[in-house]
Amino acid sequence: MTAESLSAARPAGMGAGPGRPARSLWVLVPLSAFGGVLTSTGFPASDLAPLALLGVAVGLGACAASGTAGRGAITGLAYGVAFAGVVFAWALQLEVLAYLALAPIQGAFWVLTGAAATVAARRLGPLGWTVAVAATWTLVEALRARAPMGGFEWGQLGLSSAEFPVREGAAIVGTLGLTGLLVAVAAALAATLQWWGEGPLRALVPLILALAATGSVAAIGAADWTEDVGSLEVAIIQVDDPCPGEYAAECPGMRQELLADHIAAVGRLDEDVDLLLWGEGVLRGATPEQAGAALHEAAGDLPAPLLAGTSSPEEPDRFYNRNVLYEPDGTVVDAYAKRHAVPFGEYVPFRNALGWIANVGDLVPTDMVSGGLPGELAVPDHAVSLGTVVSWEVTFARLVRDSAADTQALTALTTQASYEEAPVSDQLLQAARLRAAETGRGAAIAATTGRSTIIEPGGAQPAQTELYAADELVGTLELRDGATPFVRFGEWPVIALALALGLLQVLASRRRRS
């Protein structure tokens, strides 16, 4: 970045008093959008977390320099739409109109952060501004995770820590708390630059405190919060897409080919395992019991219990998306019905009003029925319970936490088939690593067409499969008992702390004005 660009990001009230003229939106909006694009590099396919922090600092600095809350909202919107437009570009593989709705809706949440950054810059000092911005960002992310339509946690900054030891702090504060801490570091970087002229010590205090807080949480999170109680040897079966680029309804014989490919892969296993895992929707078009009977007829007894995804049309114009645990002979042991359907992926909101959208009938001919209970499945012949979710549910911290409380390991069944080579699978695995760190549980992610992996309790990921490549991933799924602080208390302590810190800064700004 040039000195001119950094100067343009100098907030109006930072270092020169609240009377300093605001910078032009013609400069700040592109600068903020550049910050959003830079932040997107912290997520697959880039995975450059340090650049993501720099992007947040650039975006916040541009917002703070906007002069008024309204102008800050515009600058924040530019950041959010640019960020969401890059990170969620995989939605283009589903439907262009879905992408054109997703990016602006998600990007609009940064309107609130941009406005808050502007107002706080004119009323607070460097430490107060850093705290106010981090608290606001955290609260906005908590809101985005819950609304609209059940929320969307994809793109939380804390997810970008998956490749770094700081992710272990998620055991204490969750990914939401890591997001707040990383935003505090980025905001402190911006504050250091902007307040340097008023004295290096005053300018550096926020950065020193933010780094100390982040390091402390990561160190505490790395402690042994859970107890090792053994392991399961698991085999994840992955196949190539039998009908690349086509809808299931347009691919005659797809169900039979998927089943045959999976049975053949099981036959190639040359070692004993405790559990087989097949991906999402492998067993289609029948109830779990019917699918189990058909499986046994085709394969006989399997070498181990099987956890497989089923798609069952059991009500008129409705279907269930389930993870079903089978005995080796195809008998149903237990099942979990997906709770959080994907808008425009598994149901169409306001279907009667939105039926004109191109391909909506092909994409989602019927709507998914949501299940009611968390996924907890007891493995036959083992004193082990597995928490389980379906596909994008692994990106929701609260759903995985529900499943982890009384189980010893996590599983998720998914598929990449609708997204071709887009990095959606890599982003999902990034989230799964944070779920493992939050809960102190090992996790097995089985994807019908990739990528599949087995994750260690702290979030480390030794290996993964390739996309659209038949493979059998055999490995050890670690089992743990006990609860991390995040499993015990969830996100609410972080939300309460962010509210308290935000209110304190509001009171401080009023005192300064008076």
What's residue 12's pLDDT?
Answer: 38
Asked if residue 356 has pLDDT above 90, the reply is no
What's residue 275's pLDDT?
Answer: 98
Amino acid at 428: L
Q: Where are the domains of the chain?
A: 3-224+491-513, 230-344+373-483
Run of H or E including 475: strand 471-481
> b or e along 321-350 (b: 16 or more beta carbons within 10 Å of the residue's beta carbon)?
bbbbbbbbebebbbbbbbbbbbbbbbbbee
Asked if residue 176 has pLDDT above 80, the reply is yes
Planar angle of CA 462, 466, 467, nearest 5 degrees: 140
User: Rounded to two decimals, what is the model's pTM?
Assistant: 0.93
Q: What percent of the chain has pLDDT over 70?
A: 92
What's residue 5's pLDDT?
Answer: 45
Task: Tell me which residue has tokens 């502007």.
Answer: 118
Q: Quick one: DSSP state of residue 236? A: E
Phi and psi for 429 in degrees, rounded to 5? -65, -35
Segment 233-278, tens digit of pLDDT: 999 999 987 776 665 556 777 888 999 999 999 999 999 999 999 9
What's residue 496's pLDDT?
Answer: 98
Structure tokens at 12: 């109006």
Q: Who wins on pLDDT, 116 or 512?
A: 116
Contacts of residue 477, defined as CB under 8 A and 6 or more positions apart, other chains included, come to 231, 232, 233, 234, 275, 409, 442, 443, 444, 454
Find the mean pLDDT for residues 424-452. Answer: 96
Asked if residue 4 has pLDDT above 60, the reply is no
Segment 300-345, tens digit of pLDDT: 999 999 999 999 887 778 899 999 999 999 999 999 999 999 887 8
DSSP secondary structure string, 293-310? HHHHHHH-S-SS-EEEEE
Amino acid at 466: E
Mode of pairing for the β-strands spanning 409-414 and 385-390: parallel
What's residue 450's pLDDT?
Answer: 85
pLDDT band at 418 (very low <50, low <70, confident <90, very high): confident
What's residue 285's pLDDT?
Answer: 85
DSSP secondary structure string, 395-443? G-HHHHHHHHTT-SEEEEEE--GGGTTSTHHHHHHHHHHHHHHHHT-EE
Find the mean pLDDT for residues 427-454. Answer: 97
Find the mean pLDDT for residues 421-447. Answer: 97
For residue 479, the SS3 value is strand
Asked if residue 351 has pLDDT above 90, the reply is no
Structure tokens at 361: 């009938």
Q: How far apart are CA 373 and CA 441, in angstroms?
A: 20
Fold category of 230-344+373-483 in CATH:
Nitrilase/N-carbamoyl-D-aminoacid amidohydrolase (3.60.110)
Mean of per-residue pLDDT scores for the chain? 91
Find the mean pLDDT for residues 279-287. Answer: 92
Run of H or E including 213: helix 200-221
What's residue 315's pLDDT?
Answer: 75
Contact between residue 478 and residue 440 where contact means Cβ atoms under 8 Å apart? no
Find the mean pLDDT for residues 375-392. Answer: 95
Find the mean pLDDT for residues 404-421. Answer: 92
pLDDT band at 359 (very low <50, low <70, confident <90, very high): low
Planar angle of CA 136, 139, 140, nearest 5 degrees: 85
pLDDT band at 396 (very low <50, low <70, confident <90, very high): very high
